[in-house]
């Protein structure tokens, strides 16, 4: 009897131990599933970061970079709307530079003051703002579009080396739709994007410097030839006219000799400014060299080009150029030569040669005037 009781006790102990082991195994399995789920989510996050980084590091063209960023975020991060706003250093405003998903395309170019609205606050403070329910936040209600007053909204600053470059905005139609883990992921994406944006801007600035005349701020000779080649190719392809003005400051050497090169440099800057203020946005003013400038006039024939040249001549003559300190402003004049593709020349080299020849004819006739190139004489059939 005693042996039987002992056997039963042993069996009971073994059963309890077996049950405890099963419970431990089940607990370990549950923990393992949790760990696996976390690892899976982490791997997914790393994959998304890697894909975003790979996509945006493949280009230094800022619009293309932002387009790729928006595509990756909408496809992989599961947001209904995404936009990128960048700080315009000249105006200290936020400008909508890119939109993706259901965000309206006409939002591009919209401007906000720093501190204005949610995104302006993020840019001003450099801190993420997450709104779980946009309907309950008056800041969002003031800037929401009709039918877009529900869901959740996340705004993350774009920071590079302690400087705020802009803001990334994420929208989801559901309330409380972003977890803390997703917010951290969005901030990691923003860090990658900010680095790529900073690199793209630096590249663009370097490119602009290599194509810009350091003294006057207008395109240099190198940029002039590239732009002129493009306009001539377009003209030959589509049949639109293109004209070229070759401009020279009259008696510029006398200004340098009488007042020094510092004053002469100021005059060159003043002339460049007067030319830029007088032409259309699509026209191109460039410094050809020394005191010579060129103006490229796309889709402008010879009669209209002559009118533009006269307008520029009058604008420079009416402008006050900075003189020596303590002395009155200087007045300067220009001479200009006009040539038109097709009428006067058939290629870039010919166009420049014809405009230059016309310029020297204007000089020969007494300066402060405009002369036209002599049309090409075509052989009769």
Q: Which residue from 218, 229, 359 is spatially nearest to 275, judged by alpha carbons?
A: 218
Per DSSP, helices labelled H in the chain are 2-56, 62-76, 117-125, 138-143, 180-210, 221-238, 252-259, 261-278, 302-318, 348-364
Q: In whole angstroms, how far apart are CA 118 and each of 142, 162, 212? A: 10, 20, 38
Give the pair of three-digit tokens for residue 346.
């058939």
pLDDT tens per residue, range 339-351:
999 999 999 999 9
By three-state DSSP, how is residue 297 classified?
A: strand
Per DSSP, helices labelled H in 179-281 are 180-210, 221-238, 252-259, 261-278
- Let me know: does 137 contact 152? Beta carbons within 8 Å: no
**What pLDDT is attached to residue 274?**
96
Ordered domains of the chain (ranges, CATH)? 56-208 (3.30.450.40), 221-372 (3.30.70.270)
pLDDT tens per residue, range 127-181:
999 999 988 887 775 565 555 678 999 999 999 988 999 999 999 999 999 999 8
> For the sheet containing 81-88, what is the strand order?
111-113, 93-101, 81-88, 163-172, 152-160, 129-131
**What pLDDT is attached to residue 104?**
82
Give the pair of three-digit tokens for residue 111.
């401007």
**What pLDDT is attached to residue 39?**
45
- Let me know: does 157 contact 127? Beta carbons within 8 Å: yes
Q: Which residue from 157, 201, 180, 194 is spatially nearest to 69, judged by alpha carbons?
A: 194
DSSP letter for each residue of 50-84: HHHHHHHTT---HHHHHHHHHHHHHHHS--SEEEE
**What pLDDT is attached to residue 54?**
72
Spatial distance between the Cα atoms of 332 and 355, rounded to a whole number of angstroms: 21
pLDDT tens per residue, range 60-72:
888 999 998 998 8
Flag whether the pTM goes above 0.75.
Answer: no
In this prediction, the residues of the chain whose per-residue pLDDT falls under 70 are 1-48, 55, 141-148, 376-381
**What pLDDT is attached to residue 379?**
46
Q: What angle do CA 38, 41, 44 make, to 5 degrees?
A: 150
């Amino acid at each position: 009897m005693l042996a039987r009781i002992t056997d039963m006790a042993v069996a009971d102990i073994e059963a309890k131990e077996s049950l405890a082991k099963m419970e431990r195994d089940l607990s370990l399995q549950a923990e393992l599933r949790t760990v696996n789920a976390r690892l899976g989510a982490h791997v997914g996050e790393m994959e998304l970061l890697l894909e975003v980084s790979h996509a945006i590091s493949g280009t230094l063209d800022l619009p293309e970079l932002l387009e790729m960023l928006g595509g990756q975020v909408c496809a992989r991060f599961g947001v209904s709307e995404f936009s990128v706003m960048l700080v315009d250093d000249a105006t200290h405003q936020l400008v909508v530079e890119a939109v993706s998903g259901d965000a309206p395309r006409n939002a591009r170019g919209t401007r906000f003051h720093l501190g204005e609205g949610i995104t302006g606050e993020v840019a001003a403070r450099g801190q993420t703002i997450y709104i779980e329910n946009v309907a309950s936040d008056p800041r969002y209600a003031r800037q929401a579009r009709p039918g877009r007053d529900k869901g959740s909204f996340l705004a993350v600053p774009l920071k590079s080396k302690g400087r705020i470059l802009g803001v990334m905005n994420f929208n989801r139609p559901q309330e409380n739709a972003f977890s803390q883990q997703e917010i951290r992921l969005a901030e990691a994406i923003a860090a990658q994007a900010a680095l790529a944006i900073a690199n793209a801007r630096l590249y663009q600035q370097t490119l602009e410097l290599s194509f810009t005349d350091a003294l006057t701020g207008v395109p240099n000779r190198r940029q002039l030839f590239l732009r002129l080649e493009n306009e001539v190719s377009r003209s030959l392809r589509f049949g639109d006219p293109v004209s070229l003005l070759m401009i020279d400051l009259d008696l510029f050497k006398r200004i340098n000799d009488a007042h020094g090169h510092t004053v002469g440099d100021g005059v060159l800057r003043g002339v460049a400014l007067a030319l830029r203020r007088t032409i259309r946005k699509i026209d191109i003013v460039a410094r050809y060299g020394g005191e010579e400038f060129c103006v490229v006039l796309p889709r402008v024939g010879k009669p209209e080009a002559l009118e533009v040249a006269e307008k520029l001549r009058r604008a420079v003559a009416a402008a006050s150029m900075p003189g020596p300190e303590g002395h009155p402003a200087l007045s300067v004049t220009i001479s200009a030569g006009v040539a038109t593709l097709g009428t006067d020349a058939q290629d870039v080299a010919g166009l420049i040669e014809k405009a230059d020849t016309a310029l020297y004819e204007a000089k020969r006739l007494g300066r402060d005037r405009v002369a036209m190139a002599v049309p090409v004489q075509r052989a009769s059939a």
